[in-house]
């Protein structure tokens, strides 16, 4: 796609919608840097302009781009004109050993810094559950310290927080291997402080962290409630941020939900962009299965990949299962197929969509609602709410179908469970799922996966 041509035509229409002064001030120097997977990265001249254009004209630009690209685009604004940051006089022994390494050796640099070089944006599967986090991370990788600083990613196990964090580091190191990158776990940060105090090496500790151009802290919630750790991290955060360094943090919960976190740290964390990454839906888990199996050199049939995705809820579980699957196939000298996958998952390999999973326990309507919401990565309150877009409507219809076919509930009772919906709406939902189960493999995998979780 010709990006300059696309952007010129977009700006031509923008010019018709705003005043001449506004166009000259806010749009004349902008540029479309990239358009990848529906994410349009737009360069602006300075942070103030980025804030103004993003807050006032996001919808206008998006509607024009959507019309021209025939896509549902997301916009990311980055500052393209940025002063080079001055290096500290003494970069310390940690960084002197990697300075000056050749460009092609960035992978060894990454390993030395405890960054997994194989964990990149290219190997990250994108869907509606993590699209915003992916867009933000790629924006940060393009212009450190200018896009979103800090970038705070939170979510449950295996949703891709660490993957995105490492992807940013690898993207930076590939371009500039001598970038001062520091990566640690929240617990490691705390332990290093204790060791620095005991060994009287606080100066080296501060030099290591406060001179970082890219500071990555995984599971930052572990420093909460530790007075010394929070005190040092507060000063580290300020030092890195003041010098224009980029900070990326991950946690299993949002800053407001981290108990015993000091207010001043919470305020710093909330000063950038906070992104909630939901659990992967079925389609994303299939994509993850295919990507991970490809990386491992495994050939997995489509129905087997869907069975794995239907029964495992997150990326780490899928990755661990694939290792077991590979070992089992090699040990027994058998091909990887649906039967082998079913045996390892301890499920029936040929259960059809119309069959009822053996019910070994009684499931309440509320338990079913929670299971479906968790499977699709949405909230139960959202399923009960008024939204009707497809990412919400489809899980809601699955609840209707399972409540009717598995629990034997009346249409009125199902409607009451889902926020007081009319019985005709419930009937339509049940009929829709029933009809599509015979032709839609993804839907069939989702329904069977939910039934496995509830009754096996």
Residue 80 annotated as binding?
no
155 is in an annotated binding site: no
CA proximity to 237, closest of 164, 151, 165, 173: 151
**161 marked ligand binding residue:** yes
Residues in the annotated binding site for ATP: 158, 160-162
* Binding site as annotated, residues: 158, 160-162
């Amino acid at each position: 796609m010709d990006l300059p041509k696309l952007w010129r035509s977009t700006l031509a229409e923008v010019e018709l919608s705003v005043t001449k002064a506004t166009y000259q001030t806010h749009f004349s120097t902008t540029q479309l840097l990239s358009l990848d997977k529906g994410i349009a990265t737009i360069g602006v001249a300075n942070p103030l302009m980025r804030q103004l254009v993003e807050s006032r004209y996001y919808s206008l630009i998006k509607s024009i781009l959507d019309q021209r690209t025939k896509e549902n685009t997301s916009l990311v604004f980055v500052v393209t004109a940025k002063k080079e940051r001055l290096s500290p006089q003494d970069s310390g022994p940690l960084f002197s050993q990697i300075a000056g390494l050749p460009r092609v050796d960035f992978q060894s640099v990454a390993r030395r810094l405890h960054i997994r070089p194989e964990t990149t944006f290219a190997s990250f599967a994108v869907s509606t559950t993590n699209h915003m986090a992916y867009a933000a991370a790629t924006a940060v990788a393009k212009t450190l310290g200018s896009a979103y600083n800090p970038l705070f990613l939170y979510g449950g196990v295996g949703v891709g927080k660490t993957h995105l964090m490492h992807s940013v580091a690898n993207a930076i190191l590939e371009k500039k291997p001598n970038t001062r990158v520091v990566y640690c776990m929240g617990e490691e940060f705390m332990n290093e402080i204790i060791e620095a105090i005991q060994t009287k090496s606080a100066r080296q500790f501060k030099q290591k962290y406060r001179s970082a151009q890219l500071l990555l802290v995984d599971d930052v919630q572990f420093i909460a409630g530790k007075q010394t750790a929070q005190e040092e991290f507060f000063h580290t955060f300020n030092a890195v941020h003041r010098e224009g360094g980029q900070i990326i943090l991950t946690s299993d919960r949002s800053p407001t939900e981290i108990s015993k976190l000091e207010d001043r740290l919470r305020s710093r964390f909330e000063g950038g962009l906070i992104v909630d990454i939901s659990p992967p839906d079925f389609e994303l888990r299939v994509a993850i299965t295919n990507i991970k199996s490809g990386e491992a050199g495994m050939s997995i049939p489509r129905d087997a990949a869907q069975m794995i995705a239907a029964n495992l809820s997150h990326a780490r579980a899928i990755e661990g299962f694939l290792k077991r699957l590979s070992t089992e196939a090699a040990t027994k000298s058998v091909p990887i197929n649906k039967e082998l996958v079913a045996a390892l998952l301890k499920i029936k390999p040929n259960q059809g969509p119309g069959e009822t999973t053996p019910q070994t326990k009684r499931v309440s309507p509320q338990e079913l609602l929670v299971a479906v919401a968790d499977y699709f990565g949405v909230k139960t309150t959202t399923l009960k709410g008024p939204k009707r877009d497809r990412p919400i409507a489809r899980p809601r219809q699955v609840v209707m179908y399972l409540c009717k076919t598995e629990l034997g509930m009346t249409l009125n009772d199902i409607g009451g469970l889902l926020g007081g919906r009319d019985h005709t709406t419930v009937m339509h939902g049940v009929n829709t799922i029933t009809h599509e189960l015979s032709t839609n493999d993804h839907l069939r995998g989702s329904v069977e996966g939910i039934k496995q979780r509830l009754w096996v």
